């Protein structure tokens, strides 16, 4: 037989009897004409729930908006005022402390020796702590964010010629110089120049000496003022399409020996054995044996031959064609036993003419009226480099230097450079504006700009305001909260930036009554 279930009326009756029993014991009245005990129970439960909600709300607010206390913090910030302080404690009594007003977070971290974030404390709680004088390094950015380049490292230096009202560049002597950190925005308006494109630059060095230089294939070569050189180059390239450039741009590319008419000993004499029919100083063409169907060019020397580029062949012939109407074609076997010379051969007997860095093809000079923007860009896929010298890396890891030409800077419309306070378009010896992506910064180690260089020099932090700050060592960088390994950056580009103060403990400890103005 199934068990009989308790009815709802029975449960309610049982609860009523229990309440009447409580009422009789507490109030000494079994009649229970009213039920005030039930109202008291409800009030107690409601009060407990409200108290629990208040405690939970206070706990949440403590996490979201803590009032804070100094505690063991080394860097504190006034919650209401935003004032930054470095906490200096007594060596014998940690409860005794002095608050030093600090100019910026970098200085506070250097002084405290930690990379901690400031602890927010209500200003009223800081009022009871003694104060020291103002300390820190003036001119340091409020924050030192990390790089936006990832493992890649790229630095670019550009000049934009300010054309005359008529759109010409002949009378222009002004240019805006810009440094760009990071990946470039390349398109039809600004692109990498191929080997057949070059820029002819006129500029003035630090000693106020005027120069004319050729920028090509990521290289820069001064052009000799020698009359023979000038006359020969005028026949090969257009020497009238010069443009004004800054001295900073001339530092960015890889500098190679001067473009000067090569002096060939015994020019005009009979060639060496096997090439008696060709004069010394003559240019010959030999079919390539690699199956490509092409040919190689050589200049005949008194004791051998030296391979030359098409540009160099034209240049040599424009200087002295040794009465040869054209380039002579010879068979490969005719040069098989002849010594081949090279400009940088370590063996003196094999050293040839200093022409190995001459342009690989005869370049077309791009005028400023056509493309007013010219840039030199340095890029390295493995921006951190190696633990050893760069020269131990494979060729694919080497840095690359390229020439860019176009009508605008290699930036998008939303990427706006910072114009420096020292900008002056009338002066071609300084950087006028810098673009480092906002809210980022570059912790770098300077290196040479030549591919495969082994140079590893000083450490710097370059902020998004375009200023270069020195950093003494890696330990200091870690205290500042920077990456443990810096990117590599070419000194010939970042060295053009405006230098800021060095971020050192010694400089951070300097005390100030007031800061200098102007």
The percent of residues in the chain predicted with pLDDT above 70, rounded, is 92
Report the mean per-residue pLDDT for the chain: 87
pLDDT at residue 246 above 60? yes
> Model confidence over 425-452: pLDDT tens digits?
888 888 999 999 999 999 999 988 777 6
CA torsion angle 163 169 170 174 (round to 10): 50
Output the CA–CA distances (angstroms, integers) from residue 292 to 288, 297, 313, in the order listed. 7, 15, 21
Tokens encoding 409: 């800077």
pLDDT at residue 378 above 90? yes
Question: Which DSSP helix (H) or strand (E) runs through 41?
Answer: helix 36-64
Residue 389's pLDDT band (cuts 50, 70, 90): very low
Of 11-25, 75-89, 372-386, 440-454, the range with the lowest mean pLDDT is 11-25
> Model confidence over 173-231: pLDDT tens digits?
789 999 999 999 999 999 999 989 999 999 988 888 999 999 999 999 999 999 999 99
pLDDT at residue 166 above 90? no
Q: How far apart are CA 103 and CA 141, in angstroms?
A: 10
Q: How far apart are CA 98 and CA 192, in angstroms?
A: 58
Helix (H, G, I), strand (E, B) or coil at 349: helix
- pLDDT value, residue 478: 93
pTM of the model: 0.81
- pLDDT value, residue 179: 97
* DSSP state letter for 116: P
Q: Which CATH superfamily is domain 260-357 in?
A: Type VII secretion system EccB, repeat 3 domain (2.40.50.910)
Beta bridge partners of 121: 78
Helix (H, G, I), strand (E, B) or coil at 68: coil
Q: Where are the domains of the chain?
A: 21-64, 67-140+504-518, 153-226+237-252+363-502, 260-357
> Model confidence over 105-138: pLDDT tens digits?
999 999 999 988 998 888 888 888 899 999 999 9
Cα–Cα–Cα angle for 9, 10, 13, nearest 5°? Answer: 85
Helix (H, G, I), strand (E, B) or coil at 431: coil
Cα–Cα–Cα angle for 218, 220, 223, nearest 5°? Answer: 145
Residue 454's pLDDT band (cuts 50, 70, 90): low
User: 394 vs 142, which has greater pLDDT?
Assistant: 142
Q: Is 336 exposed, middle or buried (0-12, 13-18, 19+ CB in 10 A)?
A: exposed
- pLDDT value, residue 13: 79
pLDDT at residue 467 above 90? yes
- pLDDT value, residue 309: 94
> Model confidence over 399-433: pLDDT tens digits?
889 999 999 999 999 999 999 999 888 888 889 99
The dihedral through the CA atoms of 68, 72, 73, 78 has a sign that is positive
DSSP code string of 3-45:
PPPPPHHHHHHHHHHHHHHHHHHHHS-SS-SS-HHHHHHHHHH
pLDDT at residue 3 above 70? no
> Model confidence over 496-511: pLDDT tens digits?
999 999 999 999 999 9
Query: Which residues contact residue 51 at a Cβ distance below 8 angstroms, ignoring those fewer than 6 apart?
Result: none
pLDDT at residue 168 above 70? no
Tokens encoding 501: 């103060």
- pLDDT value, residue 33: 66
Tokens encoding 442: 């570059």
Question: In CATH, what number does 67-140+504-518 get?
Answer: 3.30.2390.20
- pLDDT value, residue 163: 84
Residue 390's pLDDT band (cuts 50, 70, 90): very low
Q: How far apart are CA 157 and CA 381, in angstroms?
A: 18
- pLDDT value, residue 443: 95
Tokens encoding 52: 């629990």
> Model confidence over 289-309: pLDDT tens digits?
877 778 999 999 999 999 999
Helix (H, G, I), strand (E, B) or coil at 192: strand
Residue 2's pLDDT band (cuts 50, 70, 90): low
């Amino acid at each position: 037989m199934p068990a009989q279930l308790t009815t709802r009326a029975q449960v309610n009756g049982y609860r009523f009897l229990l309440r009447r029993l409580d009422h009789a014991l507490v109030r000494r009245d079994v009649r229970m004409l009213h039920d005030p005990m039930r109202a008291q129970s409800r009030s107690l439960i409601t009060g407990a729930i409200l108290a629990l909600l208040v405690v939970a709300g206070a706990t949440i607010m403590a996490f979201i908006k803590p009032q804070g206390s100094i505690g063991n913090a080394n860097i504190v910030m006034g919650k209401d005022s935003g004032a930054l302080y470095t906490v200096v404690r007594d060596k014998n009594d940690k409860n005794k402390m002095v608050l030093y007003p600090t100019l910026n977070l970098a200085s506070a971290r250097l002084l405290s020796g930690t990379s901690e974030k400031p602890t927010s404390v209500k200003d009223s709680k800081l009022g009871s702590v003694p104060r020291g004088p103002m300390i820190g390094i003036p001119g340091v950015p409020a924050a030192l964010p990390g790089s936006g380049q990832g493992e890649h490292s790229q630095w670019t230096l550009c000049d934009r010629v300010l054309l005359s009202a008529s759109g010409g560049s002949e009378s222009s002597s002004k240019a805006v110089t810009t440094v760009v950190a990071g990946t470039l925005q390349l398109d039809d308006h600004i692109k990498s120049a191929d080997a057949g494109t070059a820029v002819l630059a006129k500029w003035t060095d630090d000693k106020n000496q005027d120069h004319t230089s050729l920028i090509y294939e990521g290289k820069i070569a001064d052009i000799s003022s020698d009359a023979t050189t000038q006359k020969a180059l005028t026949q090969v390239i257009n020497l009238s399409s010069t443009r004004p450039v800054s001295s900073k741009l001339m530092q960015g590319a890889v500098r190679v020996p001067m473009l000067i008419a090569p002096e060939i000993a015994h020019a005009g004499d009979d060639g060496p054995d096997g090439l008696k029919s060709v004069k010394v100083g003559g240019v010959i063409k030999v079919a390539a044996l690699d199956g490509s169907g092409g040919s190689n060019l050589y200049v005949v020397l008194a004791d051998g031959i030296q391979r030359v580029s098409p540009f160099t062949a034209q240049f040599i012939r424009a200087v002295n064609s040794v009465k040869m109407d054209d380039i002579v074609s010879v068979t490969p076997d005719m040069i098989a036993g002849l010594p081949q010379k090279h400009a940088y051969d370590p063996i003196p007997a094999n050293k040839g003419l200093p022409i190995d860095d001459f342009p690989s093809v005869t370049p077309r000079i791009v005028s400023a009226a056509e493309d007013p923007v010219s840039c030199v860009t340095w890029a390295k896929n493995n921006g951190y480099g190696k633990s050893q010298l760069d020269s131990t890396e494979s060729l694919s890891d080497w840095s690359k230097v390229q020439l860019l030409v176009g009508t605008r800077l290699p930036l998008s419309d939303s990427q706006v450079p910072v114009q420096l306070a020292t900008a002056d378009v009338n002066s071609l010896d300084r950087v006028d504006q810098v673009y480092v992506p906002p809210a980022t910064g570059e912790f770098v180690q300077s290196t040479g700009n030549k591919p495969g260089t082994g140079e590893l020099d000083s450490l710097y932090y370059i902020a998004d305001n375009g200023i270069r700050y020195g950093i003494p060592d890696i330990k200091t960088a870690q205290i500042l909260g920077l990456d443990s390994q810096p990117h590599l950056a070419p000194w010939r580009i970042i060295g053009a930036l405006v230098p800021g103060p060095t971020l050192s403990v010694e400089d951070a400890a300097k005390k100030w009554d007031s800061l200098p103005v102007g």
